[in-house]
Amino acid sequence: MSDVQQAPTTAAHRLAGRRVLVIGAGTRPSDDPEAPVGNGRAIAVLAAREGAAVACADISAEAAGATAGLVGAEGADALTIVGDATDPEQASAMIAEARRRLGGLDALVVNVGVGLGSGLANTSPQDWERVLSLNLDAPFLAAKHGLPELADGGAIVLIGSVAGLRAATNSPAYDSSKAALFGLVRHVAKEGAPRAIRANLVVPGLIDTPMGRGASARRPARTASFERIPLGRQGTAWEVAEAVTFLLSDRASYITGQSLVVDGGLSAV
């Protein structure tokens, strides 16, 4: 993807020696040769650029493998792991495999999400269950199985959404699931604290990703909302990745149980 070349360059190596698992590391396929990179892929590539070995996990073997190839191109150790993050056994197995193949695990990022339904009237119970399964159950399972596997002093970052702060979409299931992550990350931070394992939430706003472009195509009102962003533009996956990298690094060593909003000021107006 062309946007990979736009990833920030750095000599800081903030994650040197770290072993990182990114669940949801793939990017949704697109026929557009100029399609932007997704959040998960940007997070994995920037972690590699910062010196980490990265396990790229996704339900799609092709998507995970493509990200692992980009990680390897940065000169970092790269692994491909395939599994369904909503399945308890597969979630546990992915984390155990990453730990085994990397020789340990220092950080875990959970980047998953889907939105289904339109308003209360047009959201079926099946829509509700599917959205909560991916958006909430998967981060819960990753934290449940990941916390015991992480080395002391490790870090967990969950990826939420500005929809958790306001009724930002037409999907009540999406908004509710993303709001619940604020409570989940505080609990994970509390349980991880005795071993100095930090847990934080990154909260993206309107980000130019393949998923974001798909949402705009289905819902023109989303494009109209760009005008309300105080900084006057959408964000990029690389800007989300920068926030994640910071929270995984020692520069955020006294930050846990918190949320870092990356939305250009949208939630402030």
Would you please indicate which residues are annotated as catalytic (active-site) residues?
174
Residues paired with residue 261 on neighbouring β-strands, in sequence order: 203
Burial of 7 (0-12, 13-18, 19+ CB in 10 A): buried
For residue 223, CA distances in Å to 89, 216, 227 come to: 39, 6, 8
Amino acid making up residue 169: T
Nearest to 181 by CA among 160, 202, 203, 205: 160
d(CA 96, CA 105): 9
Beta-carbon contacts of 224 under 8 Å, excluding residues fewer than 6 positions away, are none
Residues paired with residue 156 on neighbouring β-strands, in sequence order: 108, 199
Asked if residues 27 and 116 have their Cβ atoms less than 8 Å apart, the reply is no
